[in-house]
Structure 1
Amino acid sequence: MSEHPDRRFPRSVFRQGSEPDVRFSLANERTFLAWTRTALALIAGGVALEALALDMYAPLRLAASLVLIITGILLPIIAWVEWSRVERAMRLGRPLPHPPTGIVLALAVVASGVLVLLAVLR
């Protein structure tokens, strides 16, 4: 029994175009779930960095922790938007949009890494 497109969430995606190959939709969903797991790891890393109270300059350690935790909070939201944009593009037969998640993650990792390095050196 097939689920009617009007009952699937988000309707703004599933009311568009035609059903793409299910393999592509499932790959898109797996990518979203991978970004969500990455976000969980960022949050855990940020909490651990602060909870362990390592012998490094505390304000910079806290800043690095906050970068990781805030990125971990924002990443699933960005990944959801990306999932929606990709799914909509596939349904409409359009080119896939540029994904913003990679650059967000890269910037956060660089920023937190620099903060930790400075905290260790201080």
Structure 2
Amino acid sequence: MSDVPRPGLHSERTRLAWVRTAVTMAGSGMVMAGLAVRHDLPGLAAPFAAAALAGAVLLLRTGIRHRRLERALRYGHPLDHRLDGRTVWAGALAVAAAALVLVLMLAV
């Protein structure tokens, strides 16, 4: 155990939430890209693949972000999550747009 007191487990809960978000985005993006290709809609595979890539990037950055968060909590430094927030936003937007187009194309 560390000699430095910790304010609580909120950083661990936050890290786990980011991991769940990243895994969900990566996994659902890969599944939907595969479905788009199987339904002969390769143009829709690209946005779903972009969402999967965004999830993979977030998953890789989770460890780095957690270490920075722990350091910020210990030493009182501010922490910037803008890049990760933008990555999640771009991945979620890609999924939403591609899912809408996919549903509209399958309904016709």
Does the TM-score normalized on the shorter chain lie above 0.5?
Answer: yes
Q: Is the 8 A contact 2:33 2:48 kept in 1?
A: yes
For the pair 1:97 / 2:79, whether they are aligned, the reply is yes
Structure with greater helix share of residues: 2
SS in 2 for 1:78: helix
Q: Does 1:107 align with 2:90?
A: yes
Structural RMSD (CA): 2.7
Change (3 A) 1:64 1:56: farther
| Counterpart among 10, 18, 26 of residue 43 in structure 1 | 26
Partner of 1:14: none
Which of the two has higher C-alpha Rg? 1
Alignment partner, residue 10 of structure 1: none
Say whether the 8 Å CA contact 1:56–1:120 is kept in structure 2: no
Cα distance in 2 for residues equivalent to 1:65 and 1:40: 14
Which residue does the alignment assign to 1:86? 69
- The percent of aligned pairs where both chains have the same amino acid is 28
Structure 1, unaligned stretches of length 5 or more? 6-17
Q: Number of aligned residue pairs: give it.
A: 104
Q: What CA distance in whole angstroms lies between the structure 2 residues aligned with 1:54 and 1:63? A: 10
Tell me, in whole angstroms, the C-alpha distance in 2 between the residues paired with 1:57 and 1:121. 14
- Please, which runs of 5 or more residues in structure 2 have no aligned partner? none
